[in-house]
Amino acid sequence: MNVSPVCQMRTASASDPHCGVSPTVLRLGDGEDLATRVYEALAAKRAKVSHADVVAGIDRGDIGLINESTAFIHRPVPDEITVPLPVLFENDRLVAVDKPAGIASTPQGSFVARSVLVQARRQISAGVACAHRLDRATSGVLLLVKDPSFRGTYQTLFARGHVAKVYEFLSNRVLTPPVEYRSRLETSRQRTVETRGEANARTGFELIAEHGGYGLYRARPFTGKTHQIRAHAAACGIPIIGDSLYAPSSTSSAGNGEASMLESSRVFPDRIELLASEIAFTDPVDGETVTIHSCQELRPDRLQS
């Protein structure tokens, strides 16, 4: 099954803002007063919360008992805007969305509702889970599992490298990259670095278009290390535009409108010019071959020097 890149938009639910956000589960000590038991359990974890805060949470319905020894806690959800998720593919087990740049795959830090997982639970199905993840700054095809009984099946498919992935990216350098680049990658302080030793990461590269000093490249990661394409692109001399984490000098200027270039000195950018353009796999449930394409595109001719 080759899924044509036709996007379908869903309307987000206007229900409780907690919809789609899983609560924290807290084990409680003995006692009769719920507020005191919750406060003491949180204090033991060095949480910065007062007894009055706990009482207010109970009154709002954010805190309550699951059973006699366990409570649920919904942390306050910021008033975040709804992020529409175009649907690329859907069946009774799976749904693929066209993730925009700037939102995390799963809740991170202060961005709770501004994540694909929570938005998908509000817009598509309350039980969805991510089969894999994309970086917050990356856009493109993201596969989610609708049926919880198949969650492990599809997450394992990605974990074992049985999904073929194709990415595209823009660089402000034009050259012929290596057909395949190999190195050893290790994660250090939220950043992936090349180290000495046997290669554990392999990425295929191809220059597919150029315009005005900008190059459009295709990348195929044959392994699944964190930030692999970003690190390997920089190592090959074709850093991804906007990637201030791996190539600060690549954060070039662009015009208004369609250019969507990042101008930022932040280490962790909101957007880089990296698109997960395609995934393909053999469905382990029914044996069907599935190929899903993003509706988004990157074009070097849209950039201005």
Query: Among all residues, which ones are annotated catalytic?
Result: 135
Give the Cα separation of 14 and 81 in Å (integer).
11
Give the Cα separation of 172 and 233 in Å (integer).
12
What number of CA atoms fall less than 13 Å from residue 210's CA on the CB side?
Answer: 12
CA–chain centroid gap for 92, Å, is 22
Give the Cα separation of 260 and 254 in Å (integer).
7
Give the Cα separation of 82 and 302 in Å (integer).
28
* Interacting residues of 69 by C-beta distance below 8 A, sequence separation 6+: 27, 28
Give the Cα separation of 159 and 153 in Å (integer).
10
